Amino acid sequence: MRNFVKIESMGKRRDARLRALQSLYAYEVSGNTIEQIIDDPILEDQICKKPMTPNIKKFYEQLVKKTIENMNDFDNLIKSKSANWEFDRITIIDKIILRQSICEFLCFPDIPPKVTIDEAIEISKVFSTEKSSKFINGILDSILIDLSREGRIFKKGRGLNEGTSKNKK
């Protein structure tokens, strides 16, 4: 699953993450295809209220597509770290935030894991339950440790060496 996605500009990715959350939720509950959801003009500005730049749109599209393509693998990782919690009882929003974050860990080598986790926590504080941010933080920290130990995290560049086994000196 080492299909890395490199986005030229770091830009403002929060908008893309929020749109991806919305699109992945629509995918989960609607049964529509990825293409229908990404191209749906109704979803385009529901959360962010401003158009995406080309680089941010590319990040958004890749985040949605890669998350859906790898959803079963990501769900297995989540299940392995939520042994005391039935997977079906995890809220849809929390599952989506976790999936997106795991996708960023594995498919976006230019995003530091700490940024991914911080963004997931902040988004969960707005869109999920009161206790979700702690749950998401714990699951993501544990998954990141395992992925790093297994050599599955490949991060490059300044500020990306922390928390990744492949880049430790």
User: What is the pLDDT at residue 137?
Assistant: 97
Spell out a b/e string for 106-133, using b for 16 or more CB atoms within 10 Å of the CB, else e. Answer: bbbbbbbbebbbebbbebbeebbeeebb
User: What is the pLDDT at residue 167?
Assistant: 38
Q: Is the pLDDT of residue 11 over 70?
A: no
Q: Which domains does the chain have, with CATH numbers?
A: 12-69 (no CATH), 71-169 (1.10.940.10)
- The better pLDDT of the pair 6, 97 is held by 97
User: What is the pLDDT at residue 10?
Assistant: 40
Q: Is the pLDDT of residue 124 over 90?
A: yes
Contact 86, 133 (CB under 8 A): no
User: What is the pLDDT at residue 56?
Assistant: 86
Within 13 Å, how many C-alpha atoms sit on residue 139's CB side? Answer: 31
pLDDT tens, residue by residue, 65-121: 999 999 999 999 999 998 777 898 999 999 999 999 999 999 999 999 999 999 999
Average pLDDT, the chain: 83
Span of 34-43, 60-69, 80-89 with lowest mean pLDDT: 34-43
User: What is the pLDDT at residue 48?
Assistant: 57
